Amino acid sequence: MSSSGSARTVDARLSGFATLPWRRIILVVLGATIAFVAVAGAYKTLTLPEGERYSGDFWIDQIVNGLGQGAILALIALGYTLVYGILRMINFAHGEVFMAGAFISFFFADAYLKSGFLDSNTYLALLILLVVSIAGSTLVAILLERIAYRPLRNAPRLVPLITAIGASLFIANAFRGFFGPQPYGYPLPTLLQGSIGIFGISVARVQLLVFVTAIVAMVALQLFVNRSRTGRSMRAVAEDSEIASLMGINVDRIVVITFIVGGILAGIAGLLFALTFQQVQFTMGFKPGIAAFTAAVLGGIGSIGGAALGGFVLGVLQAVGPPLLLTGFGIPSPFSLKDAFVFLVLILVLVFRPGGLLGSGEAEKV
Amino acid sequence: MRSAVRVGAIAGAVTIFLAAVGLIGNFTDLNLIGTQVTFAGLMILTPPLLAGYVAITPRVEAGRLIELGRGEALAAGATAGALAGVVFGAFVVFVDTFGVERIREVFINISPELMEYLTQGRTAIVAAAILVAVSVAAGAAGAGYRTLSDPIRRPLGTAVWVTLLFGFLQRIVPIALDQLDVERDWMYSKVTGGLTWVGAVVIAAVAAGASVLKARKGDAIRAAIKGQRDRRADGPRLTPLSFALMLVGLAVVLIAPHVLGSVISEVLGTVMVFALLGLGLNIVVGYAGLLDLGYVFFFTLGAYTLALLTGATLNTFVGSTEPAIAFNLNFYVAIPIVVLVAAGAGVLIGAPVLRLRGDYLALVTLGLGEMIVVLVTSPWLEPLVGGPQGMRDITDAAIGNFGFRDPKHFYYLAFAFVVLALFVSWRLANSRVGRAWTALREDEQVADAMGVSTTAYKLLAFAMGGAIGSVGGALFAVKIGSLTPASFTVLVSIQVLGIVILGGIGSLPGVITGSLVLVGLPGLLREFEEYRLLAYGAALVAVMLLRPAGLIPNVRRSRELKDEDREQDKWASDVAADEHAATPITPLGEGAG
């Protein structure tokens, strides 16, 4: 593990350079700088003069928003984590799986809005939209696995990753070809508009729906993985696919099921995302995809509880971080740096705690 | 037969897909040869044709290689074609029954024009029957092509694809011919836009002839150029003939912009900028095996650093203002500074992330690439780099009065840098450093154990790759003269990665070919702009599935692969020869599946 510190024969020309513990030096300096900047930024933001300072309600709103988005991120992150657990592979195209469900359900939502069904029978309509969204995402996930990943099951690690990037581009642009490049406004049923008060905190109704649905889905997943026979097989394959196949488990089938489960969760997330932001477009998969991957890594990739935790933590960080840390330095419109903030979190986690919050603390090497 | 049915059905689905994304309906007027061969027609015929070709793939069954006889093969091909036709025909009937306008509300590219093209005024059922008949013919043709003997098949195949390529290049070749004052109306029609039949036949004949010549005398020609082949020598040797060819090639490259005119020179300039980026990324991905998905980082860094160093101004709605920090250096003084900054940045971002495994590294670099884009767009850095409005008045790198903004001039500037980068890459590949990178790429732990300092060499790869990429960015800035964040997206990273992978990871000719194909062709085929990324994605997947070493594989790697192939071929022929094998052999690697 400690390759940089030990003295040993190295290429003569580079030896002086290489024997210094560069990595550690840079890490410590980097960590100290970031910690200092973060603390200073937060302090300055919170001690801004009255009037410029954010109110307490602002922070509560941010946290509620963050939890809502975190719930969606967690659902997508679970898809990354499940696939990673089974195949040790980053399904880069998972963001597109998520996009597919949201996009396909839009056409039904739009039709229901026009026919009045969306408002007259909101619960039934939402249920149908959920089924459609799940079906769309699952279909894309199955095709993806069958066409792009299965033939490369035993290829070197980077090969399926490159395929996944290609597949991601392909799916997004196929949707552009099918449905056009413009964004579509996703209708929100009247029943879900407005907000309600819970313990004195005002929460948008749609956010409440997002929250409840996501929790239910996560509990169901937990039960499925831990209690069902298929779930046990999945855990066995994740542990050691070769031994699992010797024990009579059909690994191919488990892999497909894993992609289906990931697709179902992505489909739920897709509908919730569409309802929250009321817009769908073929490019909508990329950023939530990366953010969800960050959440999965943040929680410890491969761990189901970790992905859920990572989603919520990242959601809150994303909502609270930029105004808290940046406003104090007088940086204008801190929210424009929200995406950069996500990547910063991703990089910092990978650098300082590659195993994630719930992981072992060290990434496997190579 | 079952496989033929399956392949045919898939081909039919592919045709439906092509119709749904608009690759048929939007190109009914794109004539390739005469008015008969159109791009849309090609899109309808290619899937069944390929299905016929694939359907008769020889397969190993119970340890024996099963090859179909010609009659059987044609039947299988026709079956595959028929299935493709039936599936697509059913789609046509379905759309017609359901109402094309209703479907169009969702699928915007399933248009009345598409249906009109597919039915040609007939009823849907008749049109479907015709499609089935045509598909059967195409499937049989695909299968028949595969059963031809080599001396016939090769020239035929070459003739077809070269002719079609010339058909596609209808915006470029005629312009070049006009510039050269060559009469071209016999070849490209001004009415249809595409090739005339006379032109097509001539091109096909020339291509077929060249193919025959290559098959008969190829070895002799190659020997004359390269000298006696020595298996142990790594690089090609110079003979007088090859030297002369190189000079001719150089002359062609040097006069190219004057012959081809501004439009094509402009595209070639872009190609060379991307070739530079490809060469840089090739060091990181190809030589050292570190997958970097955020190469746009260095591209952006190079472009903006150059702009800041050479006194560019910020774009505002009313005019321009000085950036917060301004220098006013000459381009040739600024370039070394840009390179140093980028190399330093490469080390800085490389150091903390080096311990990460390949796919994590990919994601972190992707994050860095996105971050720099967010940063240059943000209001925070607006006083320095102009935010969404960007910068303008970037130097044209003039030497005396000779500025390089003109596409014809820029070509030479870019060419000089590409040659330099090629030279550096080539020397690095065969140096101690290059071998260390190879060792790293193949097995990091073994390399470490053999005394290769993995940290130092990885950082060196990042620094070198970053330096070359930043030069690409700087040249890009010179080329367009103004910068907006819109030019710097994650797509640049993916495009460059595509270049490196399509061309062949670690292969220098591959990078050049890759940039010509992935940047040059889309630059010239403007009508396909919308479909460029779709094709990119498909190409990345297809290359990884079918030809993981790329179009022009790295020499050393392909040699290793070939040895493996030879062993496998020997095994397959042994098996095939052993027709009456008493005990079936389980084919290697095909079991369990």
pLDDT, averaged across chain B: 80
Confidence check: pLDDT of A139 > 90 = yes
For B351, which of A22, A180, A181 is closest by C-beta distance?
A22
pLDDT at residue B342 in the model: 92
Spatial distance between the Cα atoms of B448 and B451, rounded to a whole number of angstroms: 5
How far B406 CA lies from chain A's nearest CA (Å)? 33
Q: For A203, which DSSP code?
A: E
pLDDT at residue B585 in the model: 42
Which residue type is seen at B341?
V
Non-local CB neighbours of B461 within 8 Å, separated by 6+ positions: B283, B284, B287, B288, B290, B437
Look at B392 and B588; give whichever has higher pLDDT.
B392
Crossing angle of helices A158-179 and B532-546, rounded to 10°: 150
pLDDT in tens, B253-301: 887 777 777 778 888 888 999 999 999 999 988 888 888 888 899 999 9
Percent of chain B with pLDDT over 90: 7
Spatial distance between the Cα atoms of B434 and B287, rounded to a whole number of angstroms: 7
Sign of CA dihedral A25, A26, A29, A35: negative
Q: Do A340 and B538 touch (CB under 8 A)?
A: no
Over residues B476-481, mean pLDDT: 87
pLDDT band at A3 (very low <50, low <70, confident <90, very high): very low
Determine contact, residues B166/B203, Cβ cutoff 8 Å: yes
Over residues B502-526, mean pLDDT: 82
Set of chain A residues whose Cβ sits within 8 Å of the Cβ of B539: 166
Q: Do A363 and B22 touch (CB under 8 A)?
A: no
Q: Do B363 and A90 touch (CB under 8 A)?
A: yes
Among B43-47, B87-91, B175-179, B515-519, the least confident range: B175-179
Confidence check: pLDDT of A21 > 60 = yes
Confidence check: pLDDT of B122 > 60 = yes
pLDDT at residue A15 in the model: 55
Query: Which residue in B543, B4, B444 sits closest to A152, CA to CA?
Result: B543
pLDDT band at B579 (very low <50, low <70, confident <90, very high): very low
Burial class (CB in 10 A: 0-12, 13-18, 19+), B587: middle
Q: Do B444 and A366 touch (CB under 8 A)?
A: yes
Spatial distance between the Cα atoms of A168 and A285, rounded to a whole number of angstroms: 9
Among B25-39, B111-125, B355-369, the least confident range: B355-369
A147–B contact, CB cutoff 8 A: yes
Query: Which residue in A80, A105, A67 sits closest to A270, CA to CA?
Result: A105
Q: Do A152 and B17 touch (CB under 8 A)?
A: no
Percent of chain A with pLDDT over 70: 89
Determine contact, residues A148/A93, Cβ cutoff 8 Å: yes
Alpha helices in A300-361 (DSSP H): 304-326, 338-352
Crossing angle of helices A22-46 and B331-353, rounded to 10°: 90
Gyration radius (Cα) of chain B, Å: 27
Confidence check: pLDDT of A125 > 60 = yes
Among B152-161, B190-199, B376-385, B550-559, the least confident range: B550-559
CA B529 to chain centre: 15
Over residues A13-22, mean pLDDT: 60
Among A110-124, B164-178, B237-251, B533-547, the least confident range: B237-251
Among B118-127, B214-223, B400-409, B558-567, the least confident range: B558-567
Confidence check: pLDDT of B589 > 70 = no
Over residues A213-231, mean pLDDT: 88
Confidence check: pLDDT of B30 > 90 = no
Which residue type is seen at A311?
G
Among B141-150, B162-171, B187-196, B461-470, the range of highest mean pLDDT: B461-470
Spatial distance between the Cα atoms of A240 and B178, rounded to a whole number of angstroms: 66
Determine contact, residues A206/A275, Cβ cutoff 8 Å: yes
Sign of CA dihedral B110, A163, B489, B496: negative
Three-state DSSP class for B320? strand
Confidence check: pLDDT of B233 > 60 = no
Instruction: Supply the DSSP string of B25-94, one letter for each residue.
Output: GGGTT-EEETTTEEHHHHHHHHHHHHHHHHHT--EEETTEEE---HHHHHHHHHHHHHHHHHHHHHHHHH
Determine contact, residues B549/B505, Cβ cutoff 8 Å: yes
Set of chain A residues whose Cβ sits within 8 Å of the Cβ of B371: 339-340, 343-344
For B534, which of A159, A177, A365 is closest by C-beta distance?
A177
First to last CA, chain B: 20
pLDDT at residue A20 in the model: 63
Determine contact, residues A302/A238, Cβ cutoff 8 Å: yes
Beta bridge partners of B320: B315
Confidence check: pLDDT of B131 > 70 = yes
Query: What angle (nearest 5°) sits at the alpha carbon of residue B8, between those of residues A250 and B57?
Result: 75
Query: Which residue in A287, A346, A311 sits closest to A75, CA to CA?
Result: A311
Identify from A114, A173, A344 which residue to disrupt to test chain B contact, counting B C-beta atoms within 10 A and taking the largest count: A173
* Helices and strands (H and E) in chain B: how many: 23, 7
Cα separation values, B529 from A61, B45, B219, Å: 43, 22, 40
pLDDT, averaged across chain A: 81
pLDDT at residue B586 in the model: 42
Spatial distance between the Cα atoms of B395 and B334, rounded to a whole number of angstroms: 11
Among B60-74, B144-158, B333-347, the range of highest mean pLDDT: B333-347
Look at B229 and A149; give whichever has higher pLDDT.
A149
Confidence check: pLDDT of B21 > 50 = yes
Set of chain A residues whose Cβ sits within 8 Å of the Cβ of B490: 286
Burial class (CB in 10 A: 0-12, 13-18, 19+), B6: middle
Confidence check: pLDDT of B315 > 80 = no
pLDDT in tens, B358-406: 667 877 888 888 888 888 887 777 777 777 777 877 777 777 777 777 8
Set of chain B residues whose Cβ sits within 8 Å of the Cβ of A293: 363
pLDDT band at B541 (very low <50, low <70, confident <90, very high): confident
pLDDT at residue B571 in the model: 57
Among B485-489, B521-525, B566-570, the least confident range: B566-570
pTM to 2 decimal places: 0.82
pLDDT at residue B576 in the model: 54
pLDDT at residue A6 in the model: 41
How far A311 CA lies from chain B's nearest CA (Å)? 17
pLDDT at residue B588 in the model: 42
pLDDT at residue B542 in the model: 86
Instruction: Count interface pairs A-B at CB distance under 8 A.
Output: 202
Set of chain A residues whose Cβ sits within 8 Å of the Cβ of B497: 162, 165
Set of chain A residues whose Cβ sits within 8 Å of the Cβ of B292: none
Which residue type is seen at B79?
T
Q: Do A147 and B538 touch (CB under 8 A)?
A: no
Residue of chain B nearest A293, judged by CA positions = B363
Burial class (CB in 10 A: 0-12, 13-18, 19+), B511: buried
Query: Which residue in B279, B284, B282, B280 sits closest to B459, CA to CA?
Result: B284
A51–B contact, CB cutoff 8 A: no
Task: Quickly count: other Cβ atoms within 10 Å of residue A178's Cβ.
Answer: 19
Query: What angle (nearest 5°) sits at the alpha carbon of residue B197, between those of residues B192 and B202?
Result: 130
Spatial distance between the Cα atoms of B377 and B386, rounded to a whole number of angstroms: 8
Cα separation values, A231 from A1, A160, A263, A359, B462, Å: 34, 25, 16, 21, 42
Confidence check: pLDDT of B564 > 80 = no
pLDDT in tens, B326-347: 777 788 888 899 999 999 988 8
How far B113 CA lies from chain A's nearest CA (Å)? 16
pLDDT at residue B224 in the model: 67
pLDDT at residue B358 in the model: 66
Confidence check: pLDDT of A13 > 60 = no
Q: Residues 162-181, chain A: which have Cβ within 8 Å of B?
A: 162-163, 165-174, 176-181
For A151, which of B370, B380, B545 is closest by C-beta distance?
B545
Q: Do A363 and B356 touch (CB under 8 A)?
A: yes
Task: Quickly count: other Cβ atoms within 10 Å of residue A352's Cβ.
Answer: 13
How far B359 CA lies from chain A's nearest CA (Å)? 7
Determine contact, residues B168/B525, Cβ cutoff 8 Å: yes
pLDDT in tens, B206-220: 988 888 888 777 777
pLDDT in tens, A274-304: 988 888 888 888 888 888 888 888 887 777 8
A89–B contact, CB cutoff 8 A: yes
Determine contact, residues A299/A306, Cβ cutoff 8 Å: yes
Spatial distance between the Cα atoms of B46 and A59, rounded to a whole number of angstroms: 59
Set of chain A residues whose Cβ sits within 8 Å of the Cβ of B348: 26
For B544, which of A163, A347, A354 is closest by C-beta distance?
A163
Determine contact, residues B495/B518, Cβ cutoff 8 Å: yes
Instruction: Supply the DSSP string of B241-293, one letter for each residue.
Output: HHHHHHHHHHHHHHHHHHHHHHHHHHHHHHHHHHHHHHHHHIIIIIIS----S
pLDDT at residue A11 in the model: 52
Set of chain A residues whose Cβ sits within 8 Å of the Cβ of B540: 162-163, 165-166, 169
Determine contact, residues A189/A123, Cβ cutoff 8 Å: no
pLDDT at residue B577 in the model: 55
Three-state DSSP class for B232? coil
Spatial distance between the Cα atoms of B173 and B192, rounded to a whole number of angstroms: 15
How far A200 CA lies from chain B's nearest CA (Å)? 36
Q: Residues 179-218, chain A: which have Cβ within 8 Å of B?
A: 179-181
Spatial distance between the Cα atoms of B129 and B123, rounded to a whole number of angstroms: 10
pLDDT at residue A132 in the model: 92
pLDDT at residue B580 in the model: 43
Q: Which two tokens stand for residue B186?
A: 């016999």
pLDDT at residue B278 in the model: 92
Among A149-163, A170-184, B82-96, the least confident range: A149-163
Confidence check: pLDDT of B236 > 60 = no
CA B479 to chain centre: 23
Spatial distance between the Cα atoms of B484 and B410, rounded to a whole number of angstroms: 20
How far B592 CA lies from chain A's nearest CA (Å)? 10
Look at A72 and B522; give whichever has higher pLDDT.
A72
Non-local CB neighbours of B15 within 8 Å, separated by 6+ positions: B43, B44, B47, B48, B84, B87, B88, B91
Residue that has been written with the tokens 């789609």 in this structure: B91
Set of chain B residues whose Cβ sits within 8 Å of the Cβ of A172: 533, 537
Q: Do B455 and A3 touch (CB under 8 A)?
A: yes
pLDDT in tens, A28-80: 887 788 888 878 877 777 777 766 677 777 788 888 888 888 888 888 988 88
pLDDT band at A201 (very low <50, low <70, confident <90, very high): confident
